[in-house]
A = this chain, B = another copy of it.
Amino acid sequence: MSEDFVNKIREFIVAKTLLEKNDRVLIACSGGADSMALVHILFELKDEFNLTLGMAHLNHKIRKEASEDQKFVRKAAKQLRIPFHSKTIDVPRLAKSKGLTLEEGARQCRYDYLHQVAFDHNYNKIAVGHNCDDNIETILFNIIRGAGVAGLKGIQPSRGVIIRPLLNTSKDEIKKWILARKSPFVIDRTNKEVAYTRNRIRLRLLPYLKRNFNPEVDKALLRLSSISTEINGFMIGETLKAIADLTIHRDKSKIILDLECFREYPIALRRNIVREIVKTITGFNYPPDYQAVELFLGFCGDRRFGKKIFRGGAIAEIIGDKITFGTLTEVSLKKRIELPGQYIDPRLGFLLSGALLDSIPSETEIRTTEKNISYMDFGKVKGPVIIRNAVAGDRIKPLGMTGHKKVMDILAENQIPSFLRQSQMVLTIGSKIAWIIGIRASDEFKIVPQTKLAIRLEYAE
């Protein structure tokens, strides 16, 4: 039985490649049955994988016995001659100050501490004692609170440096094994307090479901979870492919998709495309909520204009036949530059260079030049030359026109999404806008037959 148990866990470790030879593993250890079982098992597998082990305990000061537990774990580490790391944090106080529940606060402190110890002492993995029952609770919890299909995946065997070797094993099996071995462990009374949501799921809801609806509800949930995880993986792959296919342009500040093509994708993929892009833009901290995506997809269906701001500051905007995703970045730049000369902006990452030309460029040359290049009559360059972002109220006399126009209107006509218009760079000479960079030059600085000296301006990201 004892051997079977260890074998089962070894097989899971191998199947999910949780351990590799020479790993340095920090074991998170509360002193309870799960984490003590984890310590003993990894100790048994130590030589086989040539592991370097460490144990970490966080005294979260939630329970009276917390300090007793800390001593217990320290003693266990000493007996096994495993290096021991420990720290005391007043979680209740910290949680209160951050507006978190005790559960959330404890969780955050624990993971922060574990990562810190791993970093400081060069552990490349952190093993935690989550078991199959924890997973079932998480899945049910996610279903109830409405975490969507992604939430169905529950706890994963590994995530980053975190590994969960017991995830395939039930709490019951673990308890039996550790009792049979006569290894001591502490009992966490907080696990029995119905006040915690997770405990309520474990102690009340799951037994209720088993008794009244399906004695095998655990299996049903794990199966649902495992199928969903597979489907989710597949969907993410298809979504990334679709994003690659749809992307017209991508740089550090925006992603532009082809709207017509986007509309042709099945709804499930369209939803995921928006989700993935918004997640990426917000640094994975803010998965967009369902309603927001739904609303935006509604715009995409029939409108040619529409804007949606997602939490975390991501924006999606439809103009014409494009969708532009980006963030609400406030660009504020106002810099005097010398012409001829070069200006490099390391923060915004661009280069503006202006060089005098040996000859006057021909009309064809001027007409066929790239958008990031502009030729001007150097004789007209009088007064300070400034590069700055466009602001409401800016006006220009566009090349080839007699009247003036609002810069913001020109940007709109050029399908620059509204949230990027404030980041548009303009070049002013004296009090006039000489160039909406990359978009339109002014008529007032253009090369004419009388021009004696021409300057060539180039903007490069």
A233 contacts the other chain (Cβ, under 8 Å)? yes
B217 & A146 in contact (Cβ 8 Å cutoff): yes
A230 to B231 CA separation, bound complex (whole angstroms): 12
Distance in angstroms from A123 CB to nearest chain B CB is: 31
Flag the segment in A36-44, A90-98, A220-228, A362-370 that touches B: A220-228
A276 to B201 CA separation, bound complex (whole angstroms): 35
B266 & A224 in contact (Cβ 8 Å cutoff): no
A213 & B227 in contact (Cβ 8 Å cutoff): no
B223 & A269 in contact (Cβ 8 Å cutoff): no
A302 contacts the other chain (Cβ, under 8 Å)? no
A148 cross-chain contacts in B, Cβ below 8 A: 223-224, 227
A267 contacts the other chain (Cβ, under 8 Å)? yes
What's the tally of chain A residues with a CB closer than 8 Å to chain B?
Answer: 41
Nearest B-chain residue to A224, judged by Cβ = B148
Evaluate whether A269 and B197 lie within 8 angstroms (CB atoms) in the complex, with A144-B220, A148-B223, A220-B144 already known. Answer: no
A16 to B173 CA separation, bound complex (whole angstroms): 50
A214 to B221 CA separation, bound complex (whole angstroms): 19
A221 to B197 CA separation, bound complex (whole angstroms): 18
Give how many copies assemble into the complex: 2
A80 contacts the other chain (Cβ, under 8 Å)? no
Distance in angstroms from A277 CB to nearest chain B CB is: 17
B223 & A144 in contact (Cβ 8 Å cutoff): no
A55 to B146 CA separation, bound complex (whole angstroms): 38
A221 cross-chain contacts in B, Cβ below 8 A: 143, 146
Evaluate whether A213 and B149 lie within 8 angstroms (CB atoms) in the complex, with A266-B237, A271-B230 already known. Answer: no
Evaluate whether A214 and B269 lie within 8 angstroms (CB atoms) in the complex, with A231-B231, A235-B231 already known. Answer: no
A227 cross-chain contacts in B, Cβ below 8 A: 148-149, 268, 271, 290
Distance in angstroms from A270 CB to nearest chain B CB is: 9
Mark A218-260 against chain B: 1 for CB-CB distance below 8 A, else 0.
0111011001101101110110000000000000000000000
Distance in angstroms from A263 CB to nearest chain B CB is: 15
A216 contacts the other chain (Cβ, under 8 Å)? yes
B268 & A217 in contact (Cβ 8 Å cutoff): no
Distance in angstroms from A90 CB to nearest chain B CB is: 28
A219 cross-chain contacts in B, Cβ below 8 A: 146
A187 to B205 CA separation, bound complex (whole angstroms): 31
Distance in angstroms from A98 CB to nearest chain B CB is: 22
Mark A118-147 against chain B: 1 for CB-CB distance below 8 A, else 0.
000000000000000000000001011111
A200 contacts the other chain (Cβ, under 8 Å)? yes
A144 & B231 in contact (Cβ 8 Å cutoff): no
B224 & A149 in contact (Cβ 8 Å cutoff): yes
Mark A310-343 against chain B: 1 for CB-CB distance below 8 A, else 0.
0000000000000000000000000000000000
A200 cross-chain contacts in B, Cβ below 8 A: 212-213
B145, B217, B237: the one contacting A144 at CB < 8 Å is: B217
B147, B201, B223: the one contacting A146 at CB < 8 Å is: B223
Chain A interface residues (CB < 8 Å from chain B):
141, 143-149, 152, 197, 200-201, 204-205, 208-209, 212-214, 216-217, 219-221, 223-224, 227-228, 230-231, 233-235, 237-238, 266-269, 271, 290
A-B contact pairs, 10 of them (CB 8 A): A141-B213, A144-B209, A144-B220, A146-B219, A149-B228, A152-B224, A208-B208, A227-B268, A231-B268, A234-B235
The 4 A-B residue pairs with the shortest CB-CB distance in the complex, in nearest-first order:
A146-B220, A234-B268, A230-B268, A231-B268
